[in-house]
Amino acid sequence: MTDNERPPIQLELPLPFPELSGDMPLLPARMINEYQYCPRLAYLEWVQGEWAASADTVEGDHAHRRVDKPSKSFPEADELDDTEKLHGRSITLSSNRLGLIAKLDLIEAEDGVVTPIDYKRGKRPHVARGAYDPERVQLCVQAMVLREHGYVCEEGALYYVQSRERVRVVFDDELQQLTANAINGLRLIAAGGHIPDPLRDSPKCSGCSLVGICLPDEVNYLRHADLEPRPLAVMRDEALPVYVQAYKAKIGKKGEELEISIDDEKVQTARLVDVSQVVVMGNVYITTPCLQDLMKREIPVSWQAAFPGLPPGPH
């Protein structure tokens, strides 16, 4: 075959994401992490708005307590001093052109180059690249947004709180392609409106906080998979309801406790962590800060009428 007979070479050009307009949401870096971990999990959280706390998520929040306190404003890219070493904590950056938003736990700047540091709970995993792909992808999204704002960013790091170790992450072509695939994949399933299939017999499911909502084994079993559902371990809940029926009693909050008083004299307390619901009977007052905190913790509050002629129960 001569050169004239050979078919023309088809070049592949990446299709840029159209700049956001209207009410199109920015994709958070954390959700792209979730998609790389499990597309079904990302769909449940991002599209359906499902969420459930677990011991792991609470531990993760605790690990971030220091870096979640924003520091002073971090200089713009063209204001960086090459001779100065800077740190910035809890900085949120976004890009309408990329359609991405990221909250950066820590940014270090030295010699005009910035390095994003992402905090993770637990110990450093002993795997080939020093960290799992979802965490590496999340860090790469942060780098993309930093570069979009004009910063020079060549690598980042994952800091594991329990083992106090840093893992260096280089933003090479392979990681950037993996990240682009995750971003496009999440956009695709969100636009399609069809929930992805659950993972099959995956060790990821047992540690997922949404396993009781996703029900991967049950869904696969109903689809005639040759897989028996694994038993779910239900946590023991020892919280109890608090009943308050004393005339003109007041329910307030002090620290992590409910404080019940009559005529400004404290008569009883209950730890909020031990309260499953609050039942108010009759003329009882709940302070606004206390009610707000109960709602924030998703502790139900019910009022029971206590008027003559009315049967007992909620009204």
**How far is Cα 140 from Cα 240, in angstroms, rounded to an integer?**
45
Which position has the token pair 């307390």?
A: 269
Q: Which residues of the chain have pLDDT under 70?
A: 1-23, 54-72, 225, 232-236, 305-315
> How much is the pLDDT for 15?
52
> How much is the pLDDT for 1?
47
| Residue 242 CA from chain centroid, whole number | 31
**How far is Cα 38 from Cα 20, in angstroms, rounded to an integer?**
26
> How much is the pLDDT for 310?
46
- The whole-model pTM stands at 0.67
Q: Which of 29, 201, 33, 30 is nearest to 131 (CA)?
A: 33
Q: pLDDT per residue over 141-176, tens digit each?
A: 999 999 999 999 999 999 999 899 999 999 999 999
Give me the amino acid identity at 44: L
Q: pLDDT per residue over 15-64, tens digit each?
A: 556 665 556 789 999 999 999 999 999 999 999 999 877 666 666 665 55
Instruction: Reduce the secondary structure of 153-196 to three states and give it as a string.
Output: CCEEEEEECCCCEEEEEECCHHHHHHHHHHHHHHHHHHHHCCCC
